[in-house]
Homo-oligomer: A and B are copies of this chain.
């Protein structure tokens, strides 16, 4: 089970967000989760935070990171680096889908809403 296929992101209950878990606790890992996601133009994640580091690699499209009350633009060839506990939200703001790989320093991935409540993810993380 050392070599696994990279599955294609599939629709989720979050509008415009397709998701695939590429690696995580189900693959024998204890420290890492890797997600592949696609956000259609206009789609966004909920505002949220993680009690672990996160790195988001952008492969295509145009994104906005909302963090610290500010907006940072990013696109293909750039990455978003999020130290743990940082409340953030990602928006797909281009004319084409935002293609992302999300990398987390914990598995399963802990997700919290702004009020501190845990967000139950609609996918295996």
Contacts and interface: CB of A to CB of B under 8 A. Distances in A.
Interface residues of A, number: 38
Contacts of A109: none
Copies of the protein in its oligomer: 2
A79 B32 contact: no
Contacts of A57: 6, 22, 34, 101
Given A29-B83, A32-B53, A67 B23 contact: no
| Prevailing SS type, chain A contact patch | strand
Nearest to A103: B103
Interface of A: 1-6, 22-23, 27-32, 34, 52-55, 57, 65, 67, 72-74, 77-84, 101, 103-106
